[in-house]
Amino acid sequence: MNITLKEGNRVYQVTTSTGKQIFCNIDDLNKVVKYLGCREGYFKIYHFWNNKAQRLTRKALDELFEGAQLKKEFYY
């Protein structure tokens, strides 16, 4: 899977319980979760703020998708 990160946008890291990980922007987050075959409760999403990774909560993730006017197509 080829992902192109866009400069100036927030970067997200999806990690699975088996150690797989992918970096992406919010536009590609639905595709990445589907590609990795993530199941609810078995993966984590981090975002980078001030060069530090912070784990996203379900509520914060919903707010980020709403702010980007996108629909979340997975359960977190």
Per-residue pLDDT reduced to its tens digit, 17-53? 999 999 999 999 999 999 999 999 899 999 987 888 9
Task: Give residues with Cβ within 8 angstroms of 16, minimum separation 6.
Answer: 36, 37, 38, 42, 43
Place of tokens 């197509």: 73
Handedness of CA 36, 72, 54, 1 (dihedral sign): positive
**pLDDT of residue 9 exceeding 90:** no
pTM of the model: 0.87
pLDDT of residue 56: 94
pLDDT of residue 14: 96
SS3 content of the chain, % helix, strand, coil (to 5): 30, 25, 45
